[in-house]
Structure 1
């Protein structure tokens, strides 16, 4: 990898953080960014985030050994094919998208001369953009690798090595399994956080003092509602079946809580809350 050119398509939070770490650790020979706007390319170069930034796909991709897409999922799905003529033979084409089934389906259509493999680092922030990037973002994060049936073992090995070099923990998951699991621990929590804020707003509409008494509990549980909406729309609409299924599971639990409260069933309420508390403590103590 020391002799490789890595090209990052997009330089937001994820791509920017990756570029910083690659440059900091001198992981590869050169880090190139393919960006949409000339101003963004000039900024990336002036900040020293990459060795070279360009808006020209041919200049960014023709010598790239590894191409990593860090753009929103639905844009990524189009870019995979828009840029296909520029990929060099033997290039590894991967991504950092938050859903995998739709991406894997499009990757399977790429020319046979390239090696596509899906990936998804399980980290991030509720803020977006290069200004939020940090070189330590991937440290201790799980980095999911979702190979296609056509992906050679050599490409998977290189991606694992890349994840390890960033301080991440690589984990192999099939695309469908990835989407089901991330709906449970990432996509549904976002929807719940958004739903909480929307429900609280209905109370604030009746009594605006609500926001004056909101404290750390509300701040913590509502934090991810502030995530980039366009990014989350892409994620949810490319994983709508798994996200909808998870919301139905949550609705069942909410119904059980409502039933216990409305019937003064202390035993049932205690059991539900205790089960949740024990699982949370076991995960994060």
Structure 2
């Protein structure tokens, strides 16, 4: 790498997250060559056609040869096996980073597998849509967003600065925090909302009081609220399993408030219902 510019970047998992990073770094002039790697040849061909990558390899070891930085954009439960596979092919001084939505388990499982002389920076860009695959990628995905990095006492300062500079180059604000804090924060602001959306769609879709599927009557509000339930099921299965403790804690927290609301409705308590909705509105408005 010259300065902080990346000579060769390998993206393993060329979908929305990995593909958008490749596109954005190219537009920013922050990368020389982008090599793609993944299981599906049609998706890699699409990424090549769209200019997301310059070439691709189906074999992960071949894909990372000579790479200055390797970005792992596959489901979190695949990361340890993937790092174990590519470790022998990583060059000395290479930087390994990821975009997984859970950091504690990734650090515990991946760090021992990283070869000496290779630097691992665990990260998570807080951005995305419900779409997946190379054709879902777009170069402005990370602009105005945040990327959380979770360094520890063993983290190489130079590698951390390179990864930070990479995310700043695509328009993100970089924040560093402990992995445990990251997982609890994301359980609240991302993982719980996805669980609620998935549950809501299942609940309404299973409602059998009428013969037809009442989801056909859904309008803007329902569709907007449940948009994230169209996200990749494999990715969210892995997130639920790898951030289990923090997610269950937040689900219990949600259940307390849902039970409170349910009881206020059962009692027909006008004042408490108004206070409940007002409190929620004020908290939501404060975000904006």
Fold-level match, TM-score > 0.5?
yes
Gapped runs of 5+ residues in structure 1?
Answer: none
Q: Is the 8 A contact 2:149 2:174 kept in 1?
A: yes
Match of 2:279 in 1: 275
Question: Counterpart in 2 of 1:106?
Answer: 109
State the shift of 1:127 in Å.
1.3
2:229 matched residue in structure 1: 225
1:203 aligns with 2:207: yes
What is the aligned counterpart of 1:10 among 13, 19, 27?
Answer: 13
Residue 95 to residue 214, structure 1, CA distance change in 2 (3 Å): same
Equivalents in 2 of 1:255, 1:208: separation in Å? 29
Gapped regions of structure 2 (runs ≥ 5): none
Deviation at 1:245, TM superposition (A): 0.8
Q: Quote the RMSD (CA, aligned, Å).
A: 1.7
Partner of 1:53: 56
Q: CA deviation at 1:209?
A: 6.8
Q: What's 2:96 paired with? A: 93
Map of 1:1-285 to 2, 5 A cutoff? 1-2=4-5, 4-109=7-112, 110-206=114-210, 208=212, 210-284=214-288
For residues 16 and 147 of structure 1, the distance between their equivalents in structure 2, rounded to whole angstroms, comes to 24
| Structure-2 separation of matches of 1:44 and 1:271 | 51
TM-score, normalised with respect to structure 1: 0.94
Contact 1:115 1:152 in 2 (8 A): yes
Cα distance, 1:273 vs structure 2: 1.2
Aligned to 1:4, the other structure's residue is in SS state strand
Offset at residue 82 of structure 1 (A):
1.3
Distance 2:165 2:205 in 1: 47
Deviations 1:136-177 (A, max 9, x none): 111111101111321111111111111110001111121111
CA separation in 1, counterparts of 2:269 and 2:78? 49
User: What TM-score, normalized by structure 2, do the two folds share?
Assistant: 0.93
Aligned length, in residue pairs: 284
Equivalent-residue separation in structure 1 for 2:265 and 2:277 (angstroms): 12
- Structure 1 stretch displaced more, 32-41 or 245-254: 32-41
Alpha-carbon separation, structure 2, partners of 1:213 and 1:41: 38
Q: Deviations over 1:5-54 (max 9, x none)?
A: 11111101111111111222221221111223444444433332212211
Deviation, structure 1 residue 190: 0.7
